[in-house]
Amino acid sequence: MSKLKRYLLVLTALLAILVLLGVQVYWLLYSYKIEEALFSKSVRVALNQSIATLSKNEGMCQSMQSCFSCDSSFKASQHKTPNVLQNLDRQIRDELSRYDIDLAYELAIFKGKDTLKLNNLDQIAGSACYRLSLDKVLQSSDTEIGVIFPSRYNFFLHRMGLMFLGSVLLILMITFIFSLVISYYLKEVTLSKSIKEMVNNLAHEFRTPLSSISLAAKMIHQTEEASINGKIKKYADTILEENRRLQRQSDHILQLAALEQNNLFYQFREVELTEIVEEAIKSVWFLVEQKGGHISKSYDSGVYPIYGDHNELVHVFMNLLVNACKYSPQKLEINLSIQKSQKGTMVTIADKGIGIAVGEKKKIFEKYYRISSGNQHNTNGFWIGLYYVKEVLKAHRASITVESEPGKGSLFSVFFPNDLKKDGTKD
């Protein structure tokens, strides 16, 4: 995965988490507002019911008129009729209890600009006060009763109960898990980068001894003893071939590292497709001979010019031919053909190997994936061949498809369109 895609993935996940947290906070606030609205409505209904009940009691009405007829709270305290305010407080409390509001409150009487205080109410300013006119009781429109709940916020939270607690825990859990995942992800990215650098360095370190081995084998091959002794010549040929095989594997690792970092540069020029295919066949011929197989070719020489990177395309067809050898446990037969049409040039490589199951066709071009037989993997390699093939062909704006059935072999088709420019793009 490229660095840009990783950043986009992290940003998308972060955005999703923030949206989820935002929705959770929104529903918390929304639930709180609903509880507050229900509470306010219940209190106002309870006050209305209290006033309606008191207005039917003539004695209580006369007592309250006598109590609240003064202009100040000081004078009112001198003229309080016994139990008037206590009865009023009791009536309101009974009505509130019918709506499951068992909450301490402060009671006050407002007469114009004057305030008659009750229940040790010291401050009214800044507090939410539920007020209702006492005109039905006192036959006066300038007197109101007020109820204040100092701990109503705690009451709302208590009413919300498990929903509030669960939401808070969910928010904290999501935040913690996301932070933990990001932390592990960054560690894995750092570790993966270190491993890639190590493998890349190892591949480069292999180049020097491989070059030395190749040079030594060529010198042995050219000696007089090799020309006389067939065994020495054969051993030298084997060393050279296996050295080339190691070199190819080393190149695969370097190519994969370059693909991962988007540092694989192509040198597009006009090349002859048959020359590329012949070079790929020559590179795998030793492997074909070891299996006692043969490659059938169906094409003409020198009539298939395309624009592409010669070396990378050689590696593409080498990978396809090597896979055909690996997955042909019985008699190895490979049919390779090149066909030209008005739209482009098609190269097909067919084998009679174990074939590919339907569910695995889309997976074979993924990195580090290989076809398995049951639970046992029967082939060696780095499992990056077809992934590399797909990426190189994509850079050439070419395409690859596969047709296969288990037990009947596979047919890989590579198509190069005619409208390729020198940089590998289409007209």
Q: What is the pLDDT of residue 407?
A: 83
Evaluate whether 303 touches 334 at the Cβ level (below 8 Å).
no
Percent above pLDDT 70 for the chain: 78
Q: pLDDT tens digit string along 280-297?
A: 998 888 788 888 888 999
What does the block give as tokens for 174? 């999501």
Question: How buried is 304 (Cβ within 10 angstroms: 0-12 exposed, 13-18 middle, 19+ buried)?
Answer: buried
Give alpha helix (H) positions in 222-260: 224-228, 230-260
Instruction: Report the alpha-carbon distance of residue 390 to residue 401 in Å, rounded.
Output: 10
Q: What is the pLDDT of residue 412?
A: 94
Better-scored residue on pLDDT, 11 or 120: 11
Q: What is the pLDDT of residue 384?
A: 61
Angle between helices 3-55 and 162-221 (to 10 degrees): 180
Q: pLDDT tens digit string along 312-337?
A: 898 899 889 988 888 887 778 899 99
Chain-centroid distance, C-alpha 219: 56
Arithmetic mean of pLDDT, 29-56: 84
**Which regions of 24-179 does DSSP assign to beta strands (E)?**
106-111, 114-117, 129-133, 143-148
* 75 pLDDT more than 50: no
Angle between helices 3-55 and 58-67 (to 10 degrees): 100
Percent above pLDDT 90 for the chain: 9
Taking CA atoms, 390 is separated from 68, 93, 172, 355, in Å, by 93, 79, 44, 19
Q: What is the pLDDT of residue 81?
A: 47
Q: pTM for the full model?
A: 0.53
**What are the backbone dihedrals phi and psi of residue 169, each rounded to the nearest 5 degrees, phi first?**
-65, -40
Evaluate whether 410 touches 402 at the Cβ level (below 8 Å).
yes
Q: pLDDT tens digit string along 174-227?
A: 888 888 888 888 888 788 778 777 777 777 777 778 888 888 888 887 887 877
Q: What is the pLDDT of residue 347?
A: 94
| Closest to 189 in 3D by CA, of 6, 312, 399, 352 | 6
Q: What is the pLDDT of residue 113?
A: 63
265: Cβ contacts below 8 Å, ≥ 6 apart: none
Instruction: Report the alpha-carbon distance of residue 219 to residue 176 in Å, rounded.
Output: 65
Evaluate whether 89 touches 96 at the Cβ level (below 8 Å).
no
Evaluate whether 78 touches 66 at the Cβ level (below 8 Å).
no
Q: What is the pLDDT of residue 349?
A: 94
DSSP state of 368: T
Evaluate whether 338 touches 273 at the Cβ level (below 8 Å).
yes
Average pLDDT, the chain: 77
Q: How confident is the model at residue 414 (pLDDT cuts 50, 70, 90)?
A: very high
Q: What is the pLDDT of residue 415?
A: 94
Q: How confident is the model at residue 300 (pLDDT cuts 50, 70, 90)?
A: confident
The most confident of 20-34, 56-70, 117-131, 362-376, by mean pLDDT: 20-34
Instruction: Report the alpha-carbon distance of residue 139 to residue 298 in Å, rounded.
Output: 113
| Closest to 124 in 3D by CA, of 142, 108, 145 | 108
DSSP state of 32: H
Q: What is the pLDDT of residue 370?
A: 66
* 142 pLDDT more than 80: no
Arithmetic mean of pLDDT, 251-260: 70
* 158 pLDDT more than 50: yes
Chain-centroid distance, C-alpha 119: 59
Better-scored residue on pLDDT, 316 or 377: 316
Arithmetic mean of pLDDT, 4-13: 78
Radius of gyration of the chain (CA): 44
Q: How many residues does the structure list for the chain?
A: 427
